[in-house]
């Protein structure tokens, strides 16, 4: 039995959660950073893997692209959230890429500058979000046919010559 002095109901856990786009963006950025750092360390600090450079790079490229697609797949039918989440993750990645260039001195000479990486990622994610929006509009148009409004016969104006 309760004596009426029990603790009040705690607030639902959903009120303390972050928005889904922010959460997915931060997780995606963190995973992209870990993948980038793993690739850089294996390529520059483990000379025994040099024989397998093609395979190593292929594995990291595949993993990187799969991680880039996380916000795209998560918010496939919500283009605004897709772009928000993906750009949050990409900006975090580019910031870490810029900092990695301080440690790996010739990184930007071999690959690309952080600004180029930022622009390339924004274009790729912008195309995905735009394509998702256009596809959503096409599916909406297929479900709801566009018919012109018809007037009643009594409301038509007579033709005058």
In this predicted model, what pLDDT tens digit does every residue of 102-130 receive, in sequence order? Answer: 999 899 998 999 999 999 999 999 999 99
Which pLDDT band, with edges at 50, 70 and 90, does 159 fall under? low
Confidence band of 141 (pLDDT split at 50, 70, 90): confident
Closest CA to 94 of 69, 129, 119: 119
Quote the pLDDT of residue 7: 58
Tens-digit pLDDT profile for residues 23-79: 999 999 999 999 999 999 999 999 999 999 999 999 999 999 999 999 999 999 999
Instruction: Give the integer Cα–Cα distance in Å for 119 and 121.
Output: 5
Does residue 14 surpass a pLDDT of 60?
no
pLDDT at 13 over 90: no
Q: Give every CB contact of residue 20 below 8 A, 6+ residues apart in sequence.
A: 74, 75, 81, 85
What's the pLDDT score for residue 156?
Answer: 58
User: Which residue has better confidence, 64 or 155?
Assistant: 64
Q: How far apart are alpha carbons 22 and 81 in whole angstroms?
A: 9
């Amino acid at each position: 039995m309760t004596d009426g002095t029990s603790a009040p109901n705690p607030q639902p856990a959903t009120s303390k959660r972050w928005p889904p786009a922010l959460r997915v963006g931060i997780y995606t950025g963190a995973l992209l950073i870990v993948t980038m750092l793993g690739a850089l360390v294996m390529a520059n600090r483990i000379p025994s893997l040099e024989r397998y450079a093609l395979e190593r790079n292929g594995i990291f490229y595949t993993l990187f692209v799969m991680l880039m697609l996380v916000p795209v797949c998560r918010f496939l039918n919500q283009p605004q959230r897709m772009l928000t989440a993906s750009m949050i993750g990409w900006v975090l990645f580019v910031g870490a890429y810029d900092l990695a260039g301080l440690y790996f001195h010739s990184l930007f000479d071999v690959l690309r500058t952080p600004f180029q990486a930022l622009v390339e990622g924004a274009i790729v994610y912008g195309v995905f979000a735009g394509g998702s929006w256009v596809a959503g509009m096409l599916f909406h148009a297929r479900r709801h046919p566009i018919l012109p409004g018809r007037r009643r016969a009594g409301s038509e104006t007579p033709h005058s010559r």
